[in-house]
Amino acid sequence: MSQRVNLLEAFRHNILMLKIIGAWSFADEFWYKIYKYFVTYGVLLNYLSLLAYLIIHHEDSEVVESLYTLPAITHAYIKFLMFRKNFRQIKETLDILQVEACQPRNETQKKILNDSISFAHFFLKCYTGLVVFLCGTYIERALSHGGKSLPTLGWIPFDYQQPVVYELIFTCQSACFFYWSYMNVSTDCFICISMLQIGSQCDLISDTLRNIHEISTEFKNDDFTMRKILIECVSHYNLTLRYANLLADAYKEIVTVQFADPASLQFFQLFFYQSAVTCEIFFYCFFGNRIIEKIQKPIVFYAWNIFPINADTFKGKRY
């Protein structure tokens, strides 16, 4: 067994971002809970101010067209709520990565995991840097307009152009804008880095199966050792599958919100059209399959619940 790799290192910066935006949870979080509520209600107030401004000025076409950031902000807030709601599953995925079965068996597998961690850091830095640049450009545009314009639209029930008051409101809106952006970044990066880990674990299983003879010689090159390694590979695969299922369950609402833009009717038009076409195909397949079942009902045996023991597998093994 090679030296252990800290797989949570891939999430280190991402988890820090999630803690900053108040999406994380701790066993004892009295002060952090106060911080979470403060941040949550602060950005909620900013969001409601934006909605109020839209309602008041809904007849102004220029104002409505300038609110293209509203869907993204809505997405971000829903992502934030769903991430906190499904935090138990998310925490469980991180616990799975600390299991011994996810560790490398040799230096090659160790390199696979280290490369995955390095790529996760590179991806997060590039994504974060891009968002910093875009947010800075967006806020700088408000400063370059002249006068006392704000970076985002919002209903403010008092004169914010007074000295000190304007600077304070400008700073708060800018902070909220960065917050919305990094709420998207942190939740998106978590699932991307998690999928990188799933891919790395699959690479480890594949490497073990390809080099099972070499790995078994490190202990005893006999049938018992090889069977033991095969059983460990199946257990590792099931663990990886559980990791993927937990991740999918935790992110199902977030991914749905990401693809279903509430500001676009084209999504729903395409969805209903594709559903109708899929139903038509399903009817042909369903009733055709009933005929096949009446003619023959094959019984398939599986090796380790992965490989079917049949002629196709035999042909694949030969060629």
DSSP string, 255-302: HHHHHS-TT-HHHHHHHHHHHHHHHHHHHHHHHHHHHHHHH------E
Q: Is residue 246 part of a domain?
A: yes
Compute how many other C-beta atoms are within 10 angstroms of the C-beta atom of residue 261: 15
Q: How far apart are CA 305 and CA 293, in angstroms?
A: 22
Tell me: do 196 and 288 sit in the same domain. no
Q: Is residue 160 part of a domain?
A: yes
Alpha carbon dihedral 174, 177, 179, 185, in 10-degree steps, equals -130
Q: With pLDDT > 70 as the criterion, what percentage of the chain qualifies?
A: 75
Tell me: do 180 and 112 sit in the same domain. yes
Where in the sequence is the domain holding 84, given as residue range(s)? 7-263
Tell me: do 242 and 273 sit in the same domain. no
Q: Is residue 2 part of a domain?
A: no
Q: Dig out the tokens for 300 from the structure.
A: 């398939």
**Hunting for tokens 């499904």 — which residue is that?**
86
Tell me: do 99 and 221 sit in the same domain. yes
Q: Is residue 289 part of a domain?
A: yes
Residue 199 has pLDDT above 60, yes or no: yes
Q: What is the identity of the amino acid at 253?
A: E
Q: Give the pLDDT of residue 87.
A: 92
Residues 147/61, Cβ–Cβ less than 8 Å: no
Q: How far apart are CA 116 and CA 133, in angstroms?
A: 26
Residue 302 has pLDDT above 60, yes or no: no
Classify each residue of 34-59 as buried b or exposed e, where b means 16 or more C-beta atoms within 10 Å of its C-beta. Answer: eebeebbeebeebbebbeebbeebee
Residues 159/182, Cβ–Cβ less than 8 Å: no
Q: Please state which of the ranges 37-41, 101-105, 134-138, 302-306 shows the lowest mean pLDDT.
A: 302-306
> Which residue blocks in the chain are alpha helix, DSSP H?
12-20, 30-56, 61-65, 70-85, 87-96, 107-144, 165-210, 212-217, 223-259, 265-295, 311-318
Q: Is residue 45 part of a domain?
A: yes
Q: What is the pLDDT of residues 216-273, one digit of tens each?
A: 776 665 677 888 888 898 899 899 989 988 988 888 888 777 666 555 545 555 565 5
Domain boundary among 263, 283, 298: 263
Tell me: do 162 and 301 sit in the same domain. no
Domain boundary among 263, 282, 301: 263
Q: Is residue 237 part of a domain?
A: yes
Tell me: do 91 and 101 sit in the same domain. yes
List Cα–Cα distances, 236 to 8, 100, 103, 185, in angstroms.
Answer: 18, 10, 10, 30
> What mean pLDDT, rounded, does the chain reach?
78
Q: Dig out the tokens for 140 from the structure.
A: 């700088």
Per DSSP, the residues of 185-206 read HHHHHHHHHHHHHHHHHHHHHH
Compute how many other C-beta atoms are within 10 angstroms of the C-beta atom of residue 147: 6
* 87 or 152, higher pLDDT: 87
Tell me: do 275 and 202 sit in the same domain. no
Domain boundary among 263, 285, 303: 263
Tell me: do 241 and 308 sit in the same domain. no
Q: Give the pLDDT of residue 309.
A: 39
* 68 or 57, higher pLDDT: 57
Q: Band the pLDDT of 120: cuts 50, 70, 90.
A: very high
Residues 5/103, Cβ–Cβ less than 8 Å: yes
Tell me: do 63 and 196 sit in the same domain. yes
Q: Is 0.85 surpassed by the pTM of this model?
A: no
List Cα–Cα distances, 311 to 97, 163, 230, in angstroms.
Answer: 37, 82, 22
* 307 or 10, higher pLDDT: 10
Residues 90/243, Cβ–Cβ less than 8 Å: no
List Cα–Cα distances, 243 to 27, 171, 185, 233, in angstroms.
Answer: 22, 41, 22, 15
Tell me: do 228 and 316 sit in the same domain. no
Tell me: do 302 and 216 sit in the same domain. no
* Tally of domains within the chain: 2
Tell me: do 192 and 271 sit in the same domain. no
Q: Is residue 173 part of a domain?
A: yes
Q: Give the pLDDT of residue 299.
A: 41
